[in-house]
Structure 1
């Protein structure tokens, strides 16, 4: 095969090498079996990268020898350059043979590596909050809630509202869902975290001007009690009368619960159950997930700073997607993908976008 084809193959493996290099600095993020697999691939690829470095050196030397053969008119120098080129070509031929032998022995060849988070098969907690845009943002929270719940129904997942805070006129300022399914609930939803922006004409706008509003979505893996122990002495518990749905009974008793984790200052409310005990349990589940997520982000940021490598932590402040109603378009800015079926998308047909995110985000 031509040297250019070999170079292209080297570049594919080099890209995979640097991708895995980013992931193996996060050993606590993966199960032991998955981490060992990544480490094995890393070592295999490291051998190829060493050969690639030598290959590039030889190509550079070949370029220099060709230069002297074309530009230098000294017979002695031309003879040296000729012999040098002959030796370089022999070395390149040897490298080619060795390289293709290694390529064929690797299961990785011409296959993408899928990096799986050990949290992917967990259930998830989904938090939606209104951002900029006032009442329009609250309405968009309700629209996105409907989009997700219709998607959950399509694939057979169950969900329950843990906490809801109504907006000023309509919609929600905040709503939190507990989502459960057979497998990969968190794995399918984790890339939804971030700022979702909407561009449309509000129903209250008489002049038909397009407004831009935004909400935030946070998707957290469900964390069990044995994984994240929280000392009750670190928690401040407040009870109050629920203001949401549940009828007169809920409103007449202090069944709603607010928990504040004093060390991290994380606060969680739950008021959807009639029982204070059940609200406390659900609030503790959310609190565990939020504290766990915060600790993971701290560790990743620390490793990232130490190695001067950017590690994505699902920062909710980053605008990830725009829903443009006048053009009927949804655009995910991370993977530069647009879907021109806004109506279908808002009716829960979001799997195409999720699949694209899972495929392309794992390469970054």
Structure 2
């Protein structure tokens, strides 16, 4: 580990030197890539420098203890020694986490798909509430939401909704939301006060660039049509809606949220690329079943990951056995505590696996 850390410090210094060169500053792409590398290396370098400083403190304190006879000074040195040793243990764990293999998709924007599951209209209402939950969460982080496609019901529900989240590291955070979300509550349409269980599925897919997914034009049928539903006069009176059919997979994408046919076509292709890329990721994960089982947030899409119980005001994440009694805040987008706990559990599993292999 320490050989690798020494190499990373050398690389960090090399990157910093390159960033100060005029030729690099004039090359926009190279400059951006080096800035990104510098940002990724900085936390590792800072932690390692602090680790080495603490090791020096331990050595100095031990040397001074051998020579010091004054009891007050010895007590002070022992306290300094104890603090440094404790910090060394913390930094060793932190460095191991920082050196864990990084998901290559972590820095990407994401496309999120929410689909109403079991529960009829109540499931569609829950899907719409989950969409609002994520919009509030994303906005609280200073990220941007862009609606791609929505199939709404007449009373405020959503059979399905697709949206893009643009923000640095969006996939590294939101990937833990993939799975089946379950709600338990008394529907407004229920006259006898019986609790109903409904579900919706959430799929979080990294945005795929054209270089990530090659789409053959022969495999695509593009249909244009007049938009339907709640769109306003401009949307409903022009052939602006676009439907893509991908023959090899049977995936059909329908986009009508924009007034321009070109914009709807661009959104439809972005969603199709993400879905095709996601299919490839799922195939790869199926081939590495053991690796997938050792992680949180990259598991089976049919797995029930969370329950939102309204009568008891609680939310339970079943993957990490976490229960929080702040349902109202969570439904308003306050999910950071859950995500942080998922990340910590994921890191702990990966560290345990790494220690087994060591």
Structure 1 and Structure 2 fold alike (TM over 0.5): yes
Tell me if 1:344 matches 2:329: yes
The 3-state SS of whatever aligns with 2:348 is coil
Aligned to 1:279: 264
The 3-state SS of whatever aligns with 1:323 is strand
Aligned to 1:212: 197
Tell me if 1:248 matches 2:233: yes
* Contact 1:300-1:311 at 8 Å conserved across structures: no
Tell me if 1:358 matches 2:343: yes
Q: Structure 2: 5+ residue runs without aligned partners?
A: 1-36, 42-87, 350-358
Aligned to 2:250: 265
The 3-state SS of whatever aligns with 2:140 is helix
Taking the aligned partners of 1:138 and 1:276, their CA distance within structure 2 comes to 28
The 3-state SS of whatever aligns with 2:189 is coil
* Contact 1:245-1:272 at 8 Å conserved across structures: no
Aligned to 1:196: 181
Aligned to 1:160: 146
Offset at residue 246 of structure 1 (A) = 3.1
Aligned to 1:41: none
Taking the aligned partners of 2:130 and 2:105, their CA distance within structure 1 comes to 24
Offset at residue 362 of structure 1 (A) = 3.4
Q: Structure 1: 5+ residue runs without aligned partners?
A: 1-32, 38-103
The 3-state SS of whatever aligns with 1:284 is helix
Taking the aligned partners of 2:143 and 2:327, their CA distance within structure 1 comes to 23
Offset at residue 120 of structure 1 (A) = 0.9
Taking the aligned partners of 2:134 and 2:104, their CA distance within structure 1 comes to 23
Q: Aligned Cα RMSD in Å?
A: 2.3
Counterpart of 2:302 (choices 310, 313, 317) is 317
Taking the aligned partners of 1:140 and 1:355, their CA distance within structure 2 comes to 24
Offset at residue 203 of structure 1 (A) = 0.7
Offset at residue 170 of structure 1 (A) = 2.8
* Contact 2:113-2:203 at 8 Å conserved across structures: yes
The 3-state SS of whatever aligns with 1:362 is helix
Tell me if 1:226 matches 2:226: no
Q: Summarize the alignment of residues 299-338 of structure 1 with structure 2, pairs less than 5 Å apart.
A: 299-304=284-289, 310=293, 313-338=298-323
Offset at residue 308 of structure 1 (A) = 9.6
Taking the aligned partners of 1:297 and 1:211, their CA distance within structure 2 comes to 32
TM superposition score normalised by structure 1: 0.67
Taking the aligned partners of 1:221 and 1:108, their CA distance within structure 2 comes to 31
Taking the aligned partners of 1:352 and 1:242, their CA distance within structure 2 comes to 40
**Which whole-Å deviations, capped at 9, do the CAs of 1:45-104 have from their partners, x for residues lacking one?**
xxxxxxxxxxxxxxxxxxxxxxxxxxxxxxxxxxxxxxxxxxxxxxxxxxxxxxxxxxx9
The 3-state SS of whatever aligns with 1:223 is coil
Displaced runs of 4 or more, over 4 A: 107-112, 307-313
Counterpart of 2:283 (choices 298, 301, 305) is 298
**Which whole-Å deviations, capped at 9, do the CAs of 1:274-303 have from their partners, x for residues lacking one?**
111111111111111110110121122124
Which has the larger Rg? Answer: 1
Taking the aligned partners of 1:311 and 1:210, their CA distance within structure 2 comes to 35
Tell me if 1:142 matches 2:128: yes
Taking the aligned partners of 2:136 and 2:291, their CA distance within structure 1 comes to 41
The 3-state SS of whatever aligns with 1:165 is strand
Change (3 A) 1:160 1:245: farther
Taking the aligned partners of 2:347 and 2:116, their CA distance within structure 1 comes to 28
Taking the aligned partners of 1:303 and 1:315, their CA distance within structure 2 comes to 13
Change (3 A) 1:164 1:206: same
